[in-house]
Structure 1
Amino acid sequence: MRKLLISLLREPIMRINNKFSSNPDKTKIYNALSKLFNNIIEDPGNKGLQIEFDNVKDKFIIFSDQHKGRRNGADDFTHSAANYIEALKFYNSRNFSFINLGDCEELWENHSLQIVEPNKEVFEAEKLFLRRNSFIKIFGNHDLYWTTSPLAKLELINIFGAEIKIYEGVILTTAIGDKKLHIFCTHGHQGDEKSDGNKLVKFFIANIWAPLQAYLKINPNEPSTNSFKKTIHNEIMYEWSATQKGTVLVTGHTHQPVFESLTHLEKLYRNMQIAQKNHDEILFADYDKQVRALERDFTLVTTDYLTTSPSYFNTGCCCFADGDITGIELEDGMIRLIKWEYDASGLSVRSVLDEKKLQELF
């Protein structure tokens, strides 16, 4: 019966979910990002941190959008939890700092107390970084509770065993030659009224979507290598970042991995354009085949991806339907989009999806 209902209801439910999930306003997003960036630069430690780092010696891992729940059918994190724990152990053992970029806990569908015990091992893995003073926690729209509830401070102490401050963003600043590069990290929900958690959206999520999802076991997150162009929200984020000299923007929120301002599909488009420009028919045919495998109705590339500024990156999420998690690494003067997935024997394996030298981002 459940399988029949899933086949009948998945598409209309997903349409309703998407209707409630996002409504980005370009002007509001631009204003919110600029205001937060300037606040961190002018008053560091208030809404966010500014951290000077050595891009050769210092290392960072940025994950977002775990949406930790209570391991019921509505918990998108369930299948990815083991990957996430193994990834954190890997990065902690190599002395990475960890930026947790928001929507870490699913507090629209759950009360904060409900998620503690089911995620005990997960929080223990995160605490490894806190003990080294290498943990930065950013809030998103689904865990905004941590900044609004008078009980949040005590609850966080109960979870992490120490007081922890929650920020809206962090700016990592590094010298590259005689230039300075700012890596501006924030969740990315700013400027989206629906994502900011108005009462109607919260009611839908908690009282309609969550019970339906729990029964039907529907995970709305596409596999980590998806066949889509950037969402409107990601496109607006990119457009803002392209106007900021010496700054790249790293967000989460949309659950869509973006590297150098391009999704996986858009990167294939760009590679096609490069092959065409170089008159490389064999390479062009290979990329064309890959694109058609993702887009059955593909005809031609209408956007010039060769002129795209490499100024925007998105972590993706840690709750993909296939159990994969994606994130952004900073190490050895490089920025990388990485994925952790289960191999044939069920072990967690890291792979690099894309990478670029930081000095090439100017």
Structure 2
Amino acid sequence: MSSDKRLNNAYKRAKTIAFDDTSKFILFSDCHRGDNSFADEFANNRNIYFHALKHYFNNGFQYCELGDGDELWENMTFEPIFEAHKNIYMLMKRFHEENRLHMIFGNHDMVYKNPAYVKKHLYTYFEPKDEKEATLLDQLQFHEAIILKHRENGQEIFLTHGHQADFMNYHGWRFNRFLVRILWKPLQVWGIADPTSPARNHRELIKVERRIKRWILKNKLLVTIAGHTHRPRFPEPGDIPFFNDGSCVHPRSITGIEIVHGSISLIKWQIATKEDGTLQIVRILLEGPQQLSDYVQKED
């Protein structure tokens, strides 16, 4: 099956969410939340991520996570990840309770494609204080893709992880997971990067992006937002409308995409130093805001 067919299938199966010019979304991907070991790349940015996510919760945003949220190649199960970053999942629970949480699976958390796995591991957790099971992300569903469809003008924003354009990370994810668990996780502790990741393989990164852009051209310039490669992208109007929200495992920073009141922006959260030497977490606008209506789709 070609990357075009895999992306077509993801589009056909996508969950549709209506939005309008009053809606507010934050899109993050590739958090790779781990177990707080030396191999957990997310651990360095967890305070930045928690602060940013709390900001978005308090300001009425909906949260879309575009895959690879949990690092389930290096870790056998979800439980040690939950214990390492419990405060984050309790915040995600608050999003979920208000129907503001939308989850997409990627290649590193492909097991979430199975509803039975999600039910077993994410619906509840054991609360030691009460010595019983407590509700976590009850009835949560993961999707391969999501379509944001504007209520008035019908414009569609296609959200997916992007591994559909990467054969080995789509069909061969179990083999890659085996290599990561057995070989690359121990070496990662010593600073040796995993070559199976397109984020660390520049040639593969370019191939993945080229395949997605080719698919966008074949589909009426459909506005597409993905992750997977960890490389932020923000096209100008008139260019191929392929966006990438980056990742949450950049050195000392996280990047994401905001959709607010009909406009789109690429943002970064990082730690900055004040004049008095104290540290603070700040939001930086990297690109935009640009009106979504400027990315016009072709008519049939």
TM range (shorter): 0.7 to 0.9
> Based on CA coordinates, which of the two structures has the bigger radius of gyration?
1
**SS in structure 2 at match of 1:327:** strand
1:244 matches 2:219: yes
Indicate the residue corresponding to 1:353 in structure 2: 286
Counterpart mapping for 1:102-141 below 5 A: 102-111=67-76, 112-141=78-107
Indicate the residue corresponding to 2:148 in structure 1: 172
1:50 matches 2:16: yes
**SS in structure 2 at match of 1:162:** coil
C-alpha displacement of 1:216: 3.6
C-alpha displacement of 1:219: 9.1
Per-residue deviation, residues 327-362 of structure 1 (Å, max 9, x unmatched): 111002211111111112332111111111111111
**SS in structure 2 at match of 1:70:** coil
Counterpart mapping for 1:311-326 below 5 A: 311-320=241-250, 322-326=251-255
- Residue 230 and residue 152 in structure 1: after superposition, are their counterparts in 2 closer, same or farther (change >3 A)? closer
Given that residues 103 and 143 in structure 2 are in contact (C-alpha distance below 8 angstroms), is that contact kept between their aligned partners in structure 1? yes
CA distance in 2, matches of 1:229, 1:103: 18
**SS in structure 1 at match of 2:264:** strand
- Residue 359 and residue 116 in structure 1: after superposition, are their counterparts in 2 closer, same or farther (change >3 A)? same
C-alpha displacement of 1:315: 0.8
What amino acid is the match of 1:232?
K
Given that residues 180 and 246 in structure 1 are in contact (C-alpha distance below 8 angstroms), is that contact kept between their aligned partners in structure 2? no
CA distance in 2, matches of 1:151, 1:244: 33
Per-residue deviation, residues 20-47 of structure 1 (Å, max 9, x unmatched): xxxxxxx72111112221x24xxxxxxx
CA distance in 1, matches of 2:194, 2:36: 13
Given that residues 107 and 169 in structure 2 are in contact (C-alpha distance below 8 angstroms), is that contact kept between their aligned partners in structure 1? yes
Match 2:39 to one of 49, 52, 74: 74
C-alpha displacement of 1:323: 1.9
Indicate the residue corresponding to 1:340 in structure 2: 269
- Give the gaps of 5 or more residues in structure 2: 126-135
**SS in structure 2 at match of 1:173:** strand
- Residue 200 and residue 49 in structure 1: after superposition, are their counterparts in 2 closer, same or farther (change >3 A)? closer
How many residues end up aligned between the 2 structures? 274
- Give the gaps of 5 or more residues in structure 1: 1-26, 41-47, 262-305
CA distance in 1, matches of 2:120, 2:205: 39
1:89 matches 2:64: no
What amino acid is the match of 1:330?
I
CA distance in 2, matches of 1:219, 1:83: 24
Q: Percent identity?
A: 32
Structure that is richer in strand per residue? 2
C-alpha displacement of 1:180: 2.4
Per-residue deviation, residues 222-258 of structure 1 (Å, max 9, x unmatched): xx9xx99972211221221133226201111111101
RMSD across aligned C-alpha pairs, in angstroms? 2.5
Indicate the residue corresponding to 2:139 in structure 1: 163
What amino acid is the match of 2:261?
D
C-alpha displacement of 1:150: 3.8
CA distance in 1, matches of 2:193, 2:140: 33
C-alpha displacement of 1:85: 0.4
- TM-score between both structures, scaled by the size of structure 1: 0.70
CA distance in 1, matches of 2:174, 2:48: 33
C-alpha displacement of 1:161: 4.3
- TM-score between both structures, scaled by the size of structure 2: 0.84
1:188 matches 2:153: no
C-alpha displacement of 1:151: 3.8
**SS in structure 1 at match of 2:169:** coil
Indicate the residue corresponding to 1:146 in structure 2: 112
Indicate the residue corresponding to 1:267 in structure 2: none
